């Protein structure tokens, strides 16, 4: 799956789905597509600055957040946010060229698209795609 890097509320999000063999040969496939809104943290978190020397980048040291638990996920990374409500559930079928597109209008926010299908041997195949829709 892929989508444009720049997604706004003015245009529908166009998801491009391509199904191929490991050799890149197009394959006809049927499956389901689910879009979840993500649950953001209760407050804004800043990501850690990368350090390249003992004093830290730009002379800053990374200070741990006292509210974070050891081993907790990074709340500044939307890829680690929990799933929220389901915004869309839809089936899809790719053509003999292995391609199809799905257009959906989404309000501003962070989303995770999940695709589920099966290979020709009946084994499950899944894919995930993070989306960020903005309202400039």
Under the phi-then-psi rule, with left for phi > 0, alpha for psi from -120 to 50, and beta for the rest, what region is 80? alpha
pLDDT number for residue 92: 96
Interior/surface letters 57-68, b for 16+ CB within 10 angstroms, e for the rest = eeeeeeeeeeee
Q: 81: burial class by Cβ within 10 Å (0-12, 13-18, 19+)? A: buried
Tens digits of per-residue pLDDT, 95-135? 999 999 999 999 999 999 999 999 888 999 999 999 999 99
Tell whether the model's pLDDT for residue 71 goes beyond 70. no
Quick one: tokens of 9? 């509320």
Read off the pLDDT of each residue in 67-82 and give the average, rounded to a whole number.
Answer: 70
Tens digits of per-residue pLDDT, 7-62? 999 999 999 999 999 899 999 999 999 999 999 888 877 766 665 555 544 544 44
pTM of the model: 0.77
Read off the pLDDT of each residue in 64-81 and give the average, rounded to a whole number.
Answer: 66
Read off the pLDDT of each residue in 55-80 and give the average, rounded to a whole number.
Answer: 59
Render 49-86 in DSSP notation, one character per residue.
PP--STT-GGG------TTSPTT---TT-GGGSPEEEE
- The H or E element that residue 129 is part of is strand 124-134
């Amino acid at each position: 799956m892929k989508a444009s890097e720049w997604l706004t509320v003015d245009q529908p999000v166009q998801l491009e789905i391509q199904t191929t063999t490991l050799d890149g040969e197009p394959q006809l496939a049927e499956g389901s597509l689910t879009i979840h809104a993500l649950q953001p943290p209760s407050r804004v978190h800043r990501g850690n600055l990368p350090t390249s020397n003992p004093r830290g980048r730009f002379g800053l040291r990374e200070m741990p957040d006292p509210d974070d638990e050891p081993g907790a996920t990074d709340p500044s990374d939307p890829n680690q946010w929990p799933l929220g409500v389901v915004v869309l559930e839809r089936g899809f079928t790719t053509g003999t060229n292995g391609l199809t597109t799905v257009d959906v209008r989404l309000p501003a926010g962070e989303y995770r698209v999940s695709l589920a299908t099966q290979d020709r041997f009946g084994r499950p195949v899944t894919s995930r795609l993070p989306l960020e829709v903005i309202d400039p």
